[in-house]
Amino acid sequence: MVKKIRFGLIGKNISYSFSRKYFDKKFSELKLNNYTYDNFDLEEIDEFPAVIGENLGSIQGLNVTIPYKLEVFKYIDEIDDDALVIGAVNTIKILDNGQLKGFNTDVYGFEHSLKPLLKKHVKSALILGTGGASKAVTFVLNKLNIAYKYVSRNPKNNETYSYDELTENVMMDHHLIINCTPIGTHPNSDVSPKIPYQYVTDKHFLFDLIYNPSETLFLSKGKEKGAIVKNGLQMLELQADKAWEIWTT
């Protein structure tokens, strides 16, 4: 009997997930008929050790998504240097000795999705949201020497604006706006982050980490103002390919 090689996704309410379809297609194209990719939908992160224990020996790698990119840290034996700095893990490799090593491939995906459309005049950014997704974004912005401020409903320090503080001057000083919140995700695609879209111009670049729908209301409103817009699909594809590279080398 051919041994089954398993991969999967750790998250909560992930039936919609991009990852399983993506990897199922990859396995089919590569004719890896004994490879499978499963969703492990966990109500709490405390269920994670049981997933590992029940599948040890067959499972070789996992992706991690909302809301566990930070919480999974306590179960990882070794953390890649970049993931340690970022403070979030979205890829786990199960080593030959059974230990778990954590990586962050969101960084690779975001950087290589962002850079081709980045204009030279873009020197500062607004990051909508302060959760796990924003951590990979800030890592890349630091690398690219792009200054940034967070935007949150409940700002906790002077590095963060409230949405009410986004004046015309603030918007004109920050030409890159990155949505790291889930606002606008299907099926709630009739809402968008409450930024003052009247101050968006053709000098702006709106990047949405959401990929479903392909054009969120956030992006649609930006496009109406002539802004460059991009969704999170390519970022997802690139981070998934990077995860595959980690698992298979």
CATH code at 173?
3.40.50.720
Q: Residue 125's Cα: distance from chain center in Å?
A: 17
From 88, 104, 120, the end of a domain falls on 104
- Is the Cα dihedral 119, 124, 127, 131 positive or negative? positive
Give the residue from 66, 83, 104 where a domain finishes. Answer: 104
Same domain, 228 and 126: yes
pLDDT value at position 154?
85
Q: Are residues 227 and 139 in the same domain?
A: yes
| pLDDT score recorded for residue 104 | 96
Query: 64, 88, 104 — which closes off a domain?
Result: 104
**How high is the mean pLDDT of the chain?**
94
Same domain membership, residue 127 and residue 61: no
Q: Does 119 lie in the same domain as 60?
A: no
Q: Is 156 a catalytic residue?
A: no
The pLDDT of 223-249, averaged and rounded, is: 97
pLDDT (tens digit per residue) in 144-193: 999 999 999 988 788 899 999 999 999 999 999 999 999 999 889 999 99
Give me the pLDDT at residue 121, please. Answer: 95
Mean pLDDT, rounded, for 215-238: 97
Is the same domain home to 18 and 93? yes
> Which residues lie closer than 8 Å to 179 by C-beta, 6 or more apart?
128, 129, 193, 206, 207, 208, 209, 210, 216, 218
The torsion angles phi and psi of 207, rounded to 5 degrees, stand at -115, 125
* Sign of the Cα pseudo-torsion (206, 207, 213, 214, in order): positive
Residue 88 and residue 115 in one domain: no
pLDDT band at 131 (very low <50, low <70, confident <90, very high): confident
Do 99 and 134 belong together in one domain? no
Quote the pLDDT of residue 1: 65
Mean pLDDT of all residues in 88-106: 95
- Residue 5 to residue 160: CA distance in whole angstroms: 44
Written as one letter, the residue type at 248 is T
Tokens, residue 233: 């699909």
Same domain, residue pair 64 and 119 = no
- Same-domain status, 128 and 193: yes
Predicted TM-score of the model (pTM): 0.91
Domains contained in the chain, number? 2
Question: Which tokens is 98 given?
Answer: 């059974």
Q: Which one is predicted more confidently, 130 or 190? A: 190
Kindly indicate the confidence band of residue 66, based on its pLDDT and cuts at 50, 70 and 90: confident
Domain range for 48: 5-104
118 and 224 inside one domain? yes
Q: Which of 21, 69, 203, 223 is catalytic?
A: 69
